[in-house]
A and B are shown apart, each in its own frame.
Chain A
Amino acid sequence: MPEQMSARLEELNRLAEAARDKPAAFGPDLDLESFRLPATYQPVSELTGLAEPIRRAAAEAGIEPSEEHRAGSFLQRDHSVIYEKVQSRYQGAVEVMSTQEALGRFDLQPYWWQAVAVDQDKYTARAQLAQTHGYFIRVAQGQQVERPIQACLLLSENNVSQNVHNVIIVEEGARADVLTGCTISQGVNEGLHIGVSEFYVKRGGVLTFTMVHNWAEGFHVRPRTVAVLEEGAVFVSNYILVRPARSIQAYPTTICRGAGSSSRYNNIILGLKDSYLDLGSRIILEGPGTRGESIARTIARDRSTIIARGSLIGRHDDTIGHLDCRGLLLSGQATVRAIPELHAEGAPESNLSHEAAIGPIAEEEVEYLMARGLSRDEAISMITHGFLKLDMPELPPVVQSYVNSVLEATPAEAL
């Protein structure tokens, strides 16, 4: 590791130590000492060689064990990286490895904790002080990687804290579609997943990042994500949650720094059982001609609480941003709160707008579908599935069909 980086890491550790007990701005505060260190696992040579429960859990989070339609794969089980591979035709175009390995091999100083603040809260601090890998993905300049790269962060033991730090770098003019599944294997009900993710999309680059979260009723999740875009870069984030969790608090942010860069968030959130979900997206429009769009569809059932945040910050006159947040409340014991924020900061010509709506399913729509022969339950299921299914024209068909398959696999009774 370069000497300069060692000094930087010391500085980061000092900052993290100071933030060790700093609560997050949002979400329930957690006692991090209650989570333990798990056993370590040996790598596997093929994803198809995974033990059946692990393979099934990974597949449910969208991981394709055959890798037939993937450019590369990364699989981390608890604290152990057990698989990393780049398909032969993408060697030289794509790098996939653990971030701990990448720290040893490359100068990551321009990227490591440069987008996310290490002392943001106790969760970022823990990711620095007790980091347990995470993935490093880099796409070389000008490479158009037409197949998605898949990454899976899996927990297979109870009461573990997985503290990953991920870095994705899309070099100038390159394109990558990354599919990530964060999931648990059968029998795991409690634990903590901390995920720091720093994405850098360089001039003219495109990154679509699709994440499926499959957790359990006793799980806490604290992602901390920031994407930084250079001139003309595009970042699209799709987030899908259709399983219960104890609590998730995340407020991913895109900084549209370069001129003409743009970002879009599509959040599809189903609140089940006692889930407490404080989820949002923030787009900072810094450069001239930057664009941002944030779309959220939330359905709250059972006793769940969903706080859907959205923030657009215009810092340049020639910027346009729009927030669209709609929620369906399907239970008298559930709560949905939509908190759209528009900030024009020293940019009087910044054009920011939002629409937010929360309501029941329109009876008129249910009856309309019933007049076509659907039962009441079928009509409600069709409307809720349709409500969650967003048109995402910027996604390649393979990613779109992946998102649709996750939604279609959501049981009708969950909706």
Chain B
Amino acid sequence: MLRIEQLSVRVGERVVLKDISLHIPEGESHALLGPNGSGKTTLLHTIMGFPRYQVLAGRILFRGEDVTRLPVDERARRGMALAFQRPPVVRGIKVRQLAEVCARTGEDGGDVDLLASELEVEGLLGREVNAGFSGGETKRTELLQLLAQHPRFAMLDEPESGVDLDSINLLGRAIARLLGKEDRPPAHRVSGLIITHTGRILQYFHADRGHVLMQGALVCSGNPLDLFEHIEKHGYAGCMECAVCLSK
């Protein structure tokens, strides 16, 4: 589904990502871990194609196609989607309008009203996008857009941050559905890359692999729950000193 080859990325004058290689096969979801400022959001935004992130070297292949130079909207239309950690407020545009745009973008767009009801955001459909939303409302309307788009590859940037426990439960189930990882068989196989700081969201769906990003480089990959357990015990500094990293 997604293959990243030796990707280096500059933001402004600073090289933020160095020689990243990553493969996410069709139907797999991967968790992306790392301390603040390690480049996780930069990686997601580079995959999505935002021009601020300048690719210095390497390439991004999506479903076999080199999309490294494609604009953002072309990538969205090919089936990529990103739930932002802190999306902007867009005055004058209603949540419903934007969700309907997403539904049109997707190959098999969802029913906005039905999805809004499931995410308990019916009351936000008539509101301006992200204007005065709580943390949970923002995350839920981001997921509404992704569910409406029904992408082939979904990226989620810290979906559980700033969200209360009730909302995490709701969001977790919605993410599981988005990634086609509920008990029932998925309509088609969706891949995902999810940034998580706490790992709490991983209770709701199965992540096939985890990756640790430190100072712009992928330093470790493996079972995400094992990685979390290790980081919880030893911190990211300890992570760098584990046998796998030392062997590199």
Contacts of B73 in A (CB 8 A): 370-371, 373-376, 379
Q: What residues on B are CB-neighbors of A364 within 8 Å?
A: 88
Q: Which residues of B contact A379 (CB under 8 A)?
A: 73
Which stretch in B89-97, B164-172, B184-192, B229-237 binds the other chain? B89-97
- Which residues of B are found within 8 Å of A356, using beta-carbon distances? none
Q: Which residues of A contact B102 (CB under 8 A)?
A: 372-373
Contact assessment for A365 and B48 in the assembled complex, using a CB-CB cutoff below 8 Å: no
Contact of A372 among B50, B51, B71, B105 (CB under 8 A): B105
In the complex, the answer to whether B92 meets A368 with C-beta atoms within 8 Å is no
Contact A373 B84, beta carbon cutoff 8 Å:
no
Residue pair B93, A371 in contact (C-beta under 8 Å) = no
Whether A370 pairs with B71 at a CB distance below 8 angstroms is yes
Chain B 96-128, CB within 8 Å of chain A: the 1/0 string? Answer: 011001101110000000000000000000000
User: Which of B84, B88, B145, B149 has the most chain A CB atoms closer than 10 A to its own CB?
Assistant: B88
Q: How distant is B54 from chain A, measured CB to nearest CB, in Å?
A: 15
Q: How far does the alpha carbon of A390 sit from the alpha carbon of B1 in the complex, in Å?
A: 43
Q: Contact at B72–A362, with CB atoms within 8 Å? A: no
- Assembled-state Cα–Cα distance A367/B105 (Å): 15
Q: Tell me, in angstroms, the Cα distance from A258 to B10 when the chains sit together.
A: 63
* Complex: A367 Cα to B51 Cα, angstroms: 9
**B146-189 contact mask (Cβ, 8 Å, vs A): 1 or 0:** 00010000000000000000000000000000000000000000
* Contact across chains for A373 and B82 when beta carbons are under 8 A apart: no
The answer to whether B84 touches A369 (Cβ under 8 A) is: no
CA distance A4 to B20 in the complex (A): 90
Residue A388 interfacial (CB < 8 Å): yes
Q: State in angstroms the CA–CA spacing of A410 and B36 once bound together.
A: 46
B37 at the interface (CB under 8 A from A): no
Q: Tell me the residues in window 360-415 of chain A with beta carbons closer than 8 Å to chain B beta carbons.
A: 362, 364-365, 367-376, 379, 382-383, 385-389
Nearest to B145 among chain A residues (CB) is A372
Most buried by B among A362, A370, A376, A379: A370
Are B149 and A373 in contact (CB-based, < 8 A)? Answer: yes
- A389 and B92 contact, CB distance less than 8 A: yes
The interface residues of chain B lying within 8 Å CB-to-CB of A376 are 71, 73
- Smallest distance from the beta carbon of A382 to chain B beta carbons, Å? 6
A367-B50, A368-B84, A368-B87 are known contacts. Are A373 and B92 too (CB-CB below 8 A)? no
Tell yes or no: B76 within 8 A of A by CB: yes
Q: Give the bracket for the number of chain B residues in contact with chain A.
A: 20 to 34
- CB-CB < 8 A to B50: which residues of A? 367, 371
In the complex, A382→B82 CA distance in Å?
A: 20
Q: Once the chains are docked, how many angstroms separate the CA of A364 from the CA of B130?
A: 13
Q: Are A383 and B93 in contact (CB under 8 A)?
A: yes
Closest CB of chain B to A15's CB: distance in Å?
A: 45
The count of residues in chain A whose C-beta lies closer than 8 Å to any C-beta of chain B is 21
Chain B residues whose CB sits within 8 angstroms of the CB of A383 once the complex forms: 90, 92-93
* Chain A positions within 8 Å of B77 at CB level: 373
Q: Which residue of B lies closest to A382 (CB)?
A: B93
Name B48's contact: one of A371, A387, A388, A389 (CB within 8 Å): A371
Task: Tell me, yes or no, whether B217 is within 8 Å of chain A by CB.
Answer: no
Instruction: Report the bound CA distance from A318 to B84 in whole Å.
Output: 45
**What per-residue 1/0 map shows which CB atoms of A196-240 lie under 8 Å from chain B?**
000000000000000000000000000000000000000000000
How distant is B159 from chain A, measured CB to nearest CB, in Å?
A: 16
Which residues between 53 and 84 of chain A lie within 8 Å of chain B, taking CB atoms? none
Within 8 A of A (CB), among B204-232: none
CA distance A172 to B77 in the complex (A): 58
* Residue in B48, B93, B97, B101 with the greatest tally of chain A CB atoms within 10 Å: B93
Q: Are B72 and A386 in contact (CB under 8 A)?
A: no
Pairwise interchain contact A369-B90, C-beta atoms closer than 8 A: yes
Contact string against B for A residues 278-298, beta-carbon threshold 8 Å, 1 for contact and 0 otherwise: 000000000000000000000
Verify A372–B93 contact, CB threshold 8 A.
Answer: no
Asked if residues B81 and A386 are in contact (CB atoms below 8 Å), the reply is no
Chain A residue at minimum C-beta to C-beta distance from B155: A371
B98 close to A372 (CB less than 8 A): yes
Which residue among B81, B90, B102 has the maximum number of chain A CB atoms within 10 Å of its CB? Answer: B90
A373–B105 touching, CB < 8 Å? yes
Residue numbers in B under 8 Å from A388 (CB-CB): 92
Partner of A374, one of B48, B91, B101: B101
Q: Which residue of A lies closest to B84 (CB)?
A: A368
Cα A176 to Cα B136 in complex, Å, equals 43
Q: B88 touching A365 by the CB < 8 A rule?
A: yes
CA distance A374 to B90 in the complex (A): 14
Residues in chain A near residue B105, CB distance under 8 A: 372-374
A383 and B101 alpha carbons, distance in the complex (Å): 13
Alpha-carbon separation in the docked complex, A372 to B84 (Å) = 11
- Interface set of B (CB-CB < 8 Å, partner A): 48, 50-51, 71-73, 76-77, 81-82, 84, 87-88, 90-93, 97-98, 101-102, 104-106, 145, 149
Give me 12 A-to-B residue pairs in the complex whose CB atoms sit less than 8 angstroms apart, sorted by A's number. Answer: A365-B90, A368-B84, A369-B93, A369-B101, A370-B76, A371-B50, A372-B101, A373-B104, A373-B149, A383-B93, A385-B92, A386-B97
- Not counting A368-B90, A373-B77, A385-B92, a sample of 14 additional A-B residue pairs whose C-beta atoms are within 8 angstroms of each other reads A365-B88, A365-B90, A368-B87, A369-B93, A369-B98, A370-B72, A371-B72, A371-B73, A372-B145, A373-B101, A374-B101, A382-B97, A383-B93, A386-B90
User: Which 5 pairs, one residue from A and one from B, show the smallest C-beta to C-beta distance?
Assistant: A386-B92, A373-B105, A373-B76, A370-B72, A386-B93
